[in-house]
Amino acid sequence: MTHDNSTHSTSSRSRIEEDRQREEDRAGSPGAGAVMRVIIPLQGVVQGRGGVVLGSVIPCALFYFLQLYLKRHRSERAPRDEVPPPPRRPSSSHPKPVLVSSRALHVIEDENSPYYMGWKAYKQNPYDAENNPSGVIQMGLAENQLSLDLIEGWLKSHPEVSSWEGISDTPLSLRGISGYQDHHGMPILRSVMADFMHEVMKVPFNPDQIVLTAGATPAIEMLGFCLAEPGNAFLVPSPYYPSFTRDLKWRAGVELVPVPCRSSDNFNVTINALDRAFSQTKKRRLTVRALLISNPSNPVGTTLDSATLSMLLGFATEKNIHLICDEIYAGSVYDSPNFISIAKVLDSGEFDKSRVHIIYGTSKDLCLPGFRVGVIYSYNDKVLKAARKMSRFCAVSSQTQHLLIAMLSDTQFIQQYMTENQRRLGKMSHVLTEGLKEAGIKYVKSNAGLYCWVEMGNLMPSYSEKGEINLWDKLLNETKINVTPGSACHCIEPGWFRICFSTLSCQDMTVALQRIREFSKHCKRSS
């Protein structure tokens, strides 16, 4: 998609170049010769009558109309991507391979991020305390497995939710759910989801503003389709979630423009950085259509305060662009300050709501990424209308909706679960940061999410992106620890890494910290 657009814009740019080139060529070409052969005698005639003005106007006009004729003539030829019709021939001997789209080719080629190479390395050689103690420890995947036992316990103690016995006549029987549903989610689930989001974010939500999608990934893509023309841009404070680029660029064709945040600001976004990015993007002839933020921040693991949220809203309002808040980790806040949803700030009534869209889902806070449940919560009627219809492309399984309706309706369980999950996240974050301290590694004090944002610049062979990737490679291939390098998150400063702590047991975390300590020692010794 994006590639297609870039080729599109490149091709239109190169077409201008070509036009220019052809016109320049034509000055010394047979075509230009021909025009001169017409103009010169004519000018002779005119000059013969002494017409200085006409003598200038006529050749100019003729040259102009010639150009016009050639331009029209050219544009009547076949479009650039037309496949010339092959002659009828025996079908099996066709020599030409059939073409796939340029967007498909772009997606195929877009594969070199260390973020994904690390995943692959882990998959090929996963650590297991007993069976593969020298394998790769996965600290690059933002998946929460710390509280899965609680979800499993609830499912086991509520067999009626998963069983198909005894509910034949209810709307949640197989007959009730097996057929086509509202693509954007069953009404009961949207209602229960609104209550769940209220519980998590401490602000009420309207079920009619919810569009459910098969995970947060298609929710983000959907907003790309709804808010931007192909080739338009979204500003994104960096470091940011590495896959935003794929989510928005591959098919929706949205360009992401990083708004660099710095360690000196604790990686908080500033109005100056926003203003600068906005005007630089305009200079690149890109139209900015939205500002995309994640709160809690992925990868930094901090929450935004209400002053910052108001500043972001003010900026979006001033530039008349949309504000997308990815709040997928809203329930994974384990330390003060508390999480503040953009929905809370909108409650003040100070801002136009129609530019605000929230992303949520059950992948992080409920440990269920495989179940593919995402949420778009929009205040914009047009976006809601379009997204409801487009959700045909990413509808949630009704079987999973059926399960979630029951689970989210058990508000007592949900409250207990959220508290306990946050306690466990906080504990694991503490274990990790204590270990990092011991290893002499600095980090940003975080209060949310499944990861810690650490600084290992002093361990790098050189202070550069290359040095960072070199360190990451050593960590992965020598120390067998997979983390996410800051460059994959578009961090402007080299030496930062995202380390996830929620896929490991306490025992495995001890092994991981031991490896990191030794790695740190080794690096310092060799420098």
Please give the positions annotated as active site.
241, 326, 328, 364
Q: Indicate which single residue of 200, 210, 277, 394 sits in contact with a copy of itself (rule: CB under 8 A).
A: 394
Contacts of 422 (CB under 8 A, 6+ apart): 331, 332, 333, 334
308 binds a copy of itself (CB under 8 A): no
**Binding letters toward a copy of itself, positions 162-201, x by CB under 8 A:** xxxx--x-----xx-xxxxx--------------------
Which of positions 357-376 make contact with a copy of itself (CB under 8 A)?
Answer: 367-373
Q: Indicate which single residue of 30, 48, 49, 53 sits in contact with a copy of itself (rule: CB under 8 A).
A: 53
136 binds a copy of itself (CB under 8 A): no
449 binds a copy of itself (CB under 8 A): no
Quote the longest CA-to-CA distance of the chain.
106
From the list 76-84, 203-211, 407-415, 505-513, the region that binds a copy of itself by CB under 8 A is 76-84
Helix (H, G, I), strand (E, B) or coil at 455: strand
Residue closer to a copy of itself (CB basis): 110 or 410: 110
Which of positions 340-359 make contact with a copy of itself (CB under 8 A)?
Answer: 349-352, 354-355
Helix (H, G, I), strand (E, B) or coil at 54: helix
34 binds a copy of itself (CB under 8 A): no
Q: Indicate which single residue of 10, 280, 287, 477 sits in contact with a copy of itself (rule: CB under 8 A).
A: 287
Specify whether the CB–CB gap between 443 and 524 falls below 8 A: no
What are 414's two structure tokens? 């949900």
Residue closer to a copy of itself (CB basis): 177 or 439: 177
Q: Indicate which single residue of 2, 6, 209, 232 sits in contact with a copy of itself (rule: CB under 8 A).
A: 232
Specify whether the CB–CB gap between 137 and 504 falls below 8 A: yes
Strands of 322-326's sheet in order across: 210-213, 374-378, 356-361, 322-326, 288-294, 233-238, 255-260
Q: Indicate which single residue of 201, 313, 328, 448 sits in contact with a copy of itself (rule: CB under 8 A).
A: 313
Contacts of 22 (CB under 8 A, 6+ apart): 74
Query: What residue type is assigned to position 306 of the chain?
Result: S
Which runs of consecutive H residues, i.e. helices, occur in 347-457?
A: 381-390, 398-409, 411-438
Residue closer to a copy of itself (CB basis): 78 or 264: 78
69 binds a copy of itself (CB under 8 A): no
Residue closer to a copy of itself (CB basis): 151 or 431: 151
Residue 467 CB, nearest approach to a copy of itself (Å)? 30
Residue closer to a copy of itself (CB basis): 30 or 85: 85
Compute the C-alpha angle 318/322/327, nearest 5°: 120
From the list 66-74, 296-304, 421-429, 461-469, the region that binds a copy of itself by CB under 8 A is 66-74
Contacts of 402 (CB under 8 A, 6+ apart): 161, 172, 177
From the list 127-135, 250-258, 292-300, 331-339, the region that binds a copy of itself by CB under 8 A is 250-258
- For the chain, what is the total number of helices (H) and then of strands (E)? 19, 13
271 binds a copy of itself (CB under 8 A): no
389 binds a copy of itself (CB under 8 A): yes
Phi-psi region of 495 (alpha: psi -120 to 50; beta: other; left: phi over 0): left
Helix (H, G, I), strand (E, B) or coil at 83: coil
**Binding letters toward a copy of itself, positions 203-222, x by CB under 8 A:** -----------xx-xx--x-
From the list 33-41, 125-133, 411-419, 456-464, the region that binds a copy of itself by CB under 8 A is 33-41
Specify whether the CB–CB gap between 368 and 362 falls below 8 A: yes
Helix (H, G, I), strand (E, B) or coil at 412: helix
Specify whether the CB–CB gap between 216 and 363 falls below 8 A: yes
383 binds a copy of itself (CB under 8 A): yes
60 binds a copy of itself (CB under 8 A): yes
Q: Indicate which single residue of 105, 117, 188, 406 sits in contact with a copy of itself (rule: CB under 8 A).
A: 105
Residue closer to a copy of itself (CB basis): 329 or 496: 329
Count CA within 13 A, CB hemisphere, residue 390: 18
Residue 436 CB, nearest approach to a copy of itself (Å)? 25
